[in-house]
Amino acid sequence: MIIDLLCHAATGRDGYLDGRKAVAPLPGALDALCRGHCGIGWSAVISAPGQACVDSAQALVAGAGLAVTVDADWREVDFGDWDGMPIDVLDPEQLAAFFDPPHEAVPPGGESWQARDARLEAALARLLASAQQVDGISLLVAQPGPVRWLLWRLTGVPFEALWGLRIAEGSRLRLDVRCGSDGAWAELVELRQSPPLPG
């Protein structure tokens, strides 16, 4: 089965920890996203919650008569009290304890990586079951974090190595997914960026 993973349209929030914070796409960002990715003819569309994700998914299938299913478990990790804040104002040691192995620290009022992984596993099971029921290509629109997790989870590429791939806002990745007795695995068959915004 073919599954496209798409990071939402550009928000202009590089350097911020946006998890549950409602962030809208930049003016013109949805148009750029559609120029880069519309016309594929997806058979099913799933979106993470959040304005940027839902707006992007709806823009991509506008006029196609295709409903967008929002699955809350595809959201970004919950940064708790850090949510929506610029990284450079936060304590570097606390950030390192959260982001660096062994990932034992949790942001104040936030979510652990282990809890994030558990809900993404549940979301992946639903995504695969849904994709197996449709003919054609399924689309998942999410923030870059869950997209990287899914690429790691299905291809087996070490997570640290994924920083060598540009998976930015507006990126679309195509996976050829196989399900067998040992679980699901995939090949990355395409990585395409959204055109830059004018100006």
Residue 65 has pLDDT above 90, yes or no: no
Cα–Cα distances in angstroms (integers) from residue 79 to residues 53, 54, 71, in the given order: 18, 20, 19
Residue 104 has pLDDT above 90, yes or no: no
Residue 28 has pLDDT above 70, yes or no: yes
Is the whole model's pTM more than 0.85, yes or no? yes
Q: Please report which helix (H) or strand (E) contains residue 47, including its range.
A: strand 44-47
Tell me phi and psi for residue 112, to 5 degrees. Answer: -80, 160
Contact between 100 and 113 under an 8 Å Cβ cutoff? The reply is: no
Number of separate helices (H) and strands (E) present in the chain: 5, 8
Q: Tell me the pLDDT band of 177, cut-offs 50, 70 and 90.
A: very high
Q: Give the DSSP letter string of 109-167.
A: T---HHHHHHHHHHHHHHHHHHHHTSSSEEEEEE-HHHHHHHHHHHH---GGGGGGS--
Contact between 151 and 118 under an 8 Å Cβ cutoff? The reply is: no
Residue 198 has pLDDT above 80, yes or no: no
The average pLDDT across 151-166 equals 90
Question: Would strands 68-70 and 44-47 be described as parallel, antiparallel, or unpaired?
Answer: parallel
The average pLDDT across 106-122 equals 96
User: Mean pLDDT of all residues in the chain?
Assistant: 94
What the chain holds in terms of domains, given with CATH numbers, is: 2-193 (3.40.50.1240)
Q: Tell me the pLDDT band of 195, cut-offs 50, 70 and 90.
A: confident
Residue 18 has pLDDT above 70, yes or no: yes
What was the pLDDT predicted at 199? Answer: 62
Which pLDDT tens digit goes with each residue over 30-52? 999 999 998 899 999 999 999 99
Q: Tell me the pLDDT band of 10, cut-offs 50, 70 and 90.
A: very high
> Which position has the higher pLDDT, 124 or 194?
124
Residue 167 has pLDDT above 80, yes or no: yes
Q: Tell me the pLDDT band of 87, cut-offs 50, 70 and 90.
A: very high
Q: What is the C-alpha end-to-end distance of the chain, expressed in Å?
A: 38
What was the pLDDT predicted at 101? Answer: 84
